[in-house]
Amino acid sequence: MLHIALHFLIPLLVALTFYRRRWRNTSLILVATMLVDADHLLADPIYDPERCSIGFHPLHTVPAIVIYLLLFVLPLIVGRNSRVTGLTHPVNVLHLVGLGLLIHMALDGIDCVA
């Protein structure tokens, strides 16, 4: 149960710490990335508390995590070279989606070592 709570608390803390001016919208985007767990529906059983999600579910594999990293980093590079502002700009949304997915993978990864 703590694991699921962390998927809500950590994004909220990140939004409050790093995106203070727009923490509400930011936290909503970060929490929305929990939808990545839809790939658990492909597993049998759907939920297994002993199973490590990383490397097992399709959206929790290393290639997927590399894509999430690119979603996080590329908008930072594009943003430095242009006047991209506002949370609703697609570049900023992609950045936050990538961040949310990386947070999600990190939290799921903790379960793999514990």
Q: Which two tokens stand for residue 1?
A: 């149960």
Q: Which two tokens stand for residue 61?
A: 């594999």
Average pLDDT, the chain: 89
Residue 85 has pLDDT above 60, yes or no: no
Give alpha helix (H) positions in 19-61.
23-32
- Residue 89 is given by DSSP the state S
Q: Where are the beta strands (DSSP E) in 24-86?
A: none
Residue 49 has pLDDT above 70, yes or no: yes
pLDDT band at 13 (very low <50, low <70, confident <90, very high): very high
Nearest 10 degrees: CA dihedral of 76, 64, 32, 20? -30
Residue 81 has pLDDT above 70, yes or no: no
Distance in Å from the first CA to the final CA of the chain: 15
Q: Hunting for tokens 């700009």 — which residue is that? A: 89
